[in-house]
Amino acid sequence: MDIMKTLLIYMTATLTLAVQNTAAPKVTPTPSPVPQAIVETVGTPAPGEEATAAPTAKPTQAGNKYTPAPVPEITPNQKAYHNITMGTKGKEVKRIQEKLIELGYLPKDSADGAYGRQTYNAIKKFQYYNGLTADGIAGRKTQTYLFENPDIFPNPEANEEPEPTPAPTSEVPTPAVTEAPTAEPTAAPTEAPTEAPTETPTEAPTEAPTEEPTEEPAEEPTAEPEATEAPEETETPEPTEEPEEIIENVDLDADVYELITADIALNEGDGPLEFIQMQDGVPVKAQPRLSQNGAKIRVSLDDMCKCVETWQLTDDGVGSVVLEAAGYTLVLYNEDAGCSATLDGLEIPMKEEDFDFESEGHFINAEFLAAALKGEAIWDQEEDTLILRIRDKEAAETDD
């Protein structure tokens, strides 16, 4: 019995010691919930919500340049529109210009109904930003996009806002720099230099020079005026004769015409007139030459006949030039009595400045040419384009 009690006591002590030396179990931390990223998908509505339309693509900007955005293909309206090019004038052109102004491709108050260079450049820019071929021609496809495309893109350059000008930052350094130099230099130099120079130079020079030179020269010059009477009588006729020979206020460039670079449109055709000429053995495109003297415009008949097959020009070399154009026969004469002209055998009024018989080539006043051929000439200074409307003689007589 004693052995059993001793054994039980020993086992109890050993178990107690083991429990005391055993480390307590660590507390396992409860994991915190990880935030979930919420992704919203455009066009995929939640239950009970309406779908949100994806934003329309716009031209992207890289530096100062814009890249046009893709535009859905639209079938050209063949019935409603026809090709309109530079040189065309009328209500259709004005309607296109008004739409371009609305979209920012043309400045305000520029819808004059004349398809000139400014309208041509605006159409090219519109075509570029709307995914079309930028050729400057307002064709059926371009006009369909311009008037019927719901996803039309206005001029992105027109909406650019200028960067704000930074305010001047010169307020802090100004007072510091101004105070130091102003106080010291002003006091010292002002008192000393002012008193000394003023007293001495003023008294001495004033008394001495005034008395001596005044008395002696006064008597001698007064005795010689009699000698000036004789030259006045002999020299007076000479200045009066010279002004008669010298002509003042004459514009020496009144009859000078200078060549200019401009386009010519005839009867609102498909574009400016052009012809092929050889230059250094290579065929190149050229435009009819124009010369200008103020508001007067002259056009080369030689170049016009190269552009229009039905026009012919003949020069007999002795002062007569014959132009056959639009069914008319215009004859220009350069005689001793002056210049004259006939149209289909009947004399018409003509001024010497209307035609150039002396320079190389045959340059004729555009207004005189148009009036002689029963048409009209319009000089579009903004577009640098001369518009000639000259109808065929038979068509004009039929309408009349």
Confidence of residue 137 (pLDDT cuts 50, 70, 90): very high
Within 10 Å of residue 155's Cβ, how many Cβ atoms?
Answer: 18
Angle at 195 between CA 192 and CA 201, to 5 degrees: 125
Percent of the chain with pLDDT over 70: 59
Task: Compute CA distances 381 → 107, 237, 263, whole Å.
Answer: 17, 52, 11
Handedness of CA 381, 384, 389, 390 (dihedral sign): positive
pLDDT tens by residue, 250-264: 444 456 889 998 999
- The answer on pLDDT for 122 being more than 80 is yes
Query: By C-alpha distance, which of 83, 89, 84, 81 is closest to 383?
Result: 89
- The Cα–Cα gap between 173 and 219 comes to 66
Tell me the mean pLDDT in the region 69-91.
81
- Tokens standing for residue 166: 């930074």
Query: By C-alpha distance, which of 33, 53, 29 is closest to 43?
Result: 53
The torsion angle over the Cα atoms of residues 145, 146, 147 and 150, rounded to 10 degrees, is 60
Q: What is the DSSP string of 230-259?
A: HHHHHHSHHHHHHHHHPPPS--TTTT--EE
**Residues 87/272, Cβ–Cβ less than 8 Å:** yes
pLDDT tens by residue, 42-52: 343 444 444 44
60-158 folds as Muramoyl-pentapeptide Carboxypeptidase; domain 1 (1.10.101)
Query: By C-alpha distance, which of 316, 313, 293 is closest to 304?
Result: 313
- The Cα–Cα gap between 120 and 108 comes to 16
* List of residues 6+ apart from 155 with CB closer than 8 A: 103, 104, 105, 125, 126, 129
- Tokens standing for residue 139: 């064709």
Query: By C-alpha distance, which of 339, 338, 340, 342 is closest to 324?
Result: 342
Highest mean pLDDT among 29-33, 332-336, 346-350, 394-398: 346-350
Residue 327, classified by CB atoms within 10 Å of its CB into exposed (0-12), middle (13-18) or buried (19+), is middle
* List of residues 6+ apart from 196 with CB closer than 8 A: none
Chain-centroid distance, C-alpha 345: 47
- Write down the pLDDT at residue 364: 94
Residue ranges, comma separated, of all CATH 1.10.101.10 domains in the chain are 60-158
- Checking DSSP bridges between strand 346-348 and strand 355-356, what pairing results, if any? unpaired
pLDDT tens by residue, 203-254: 544 454 445 544 555 455 554 545 555 555 555 555 555 545 444 444 444 5
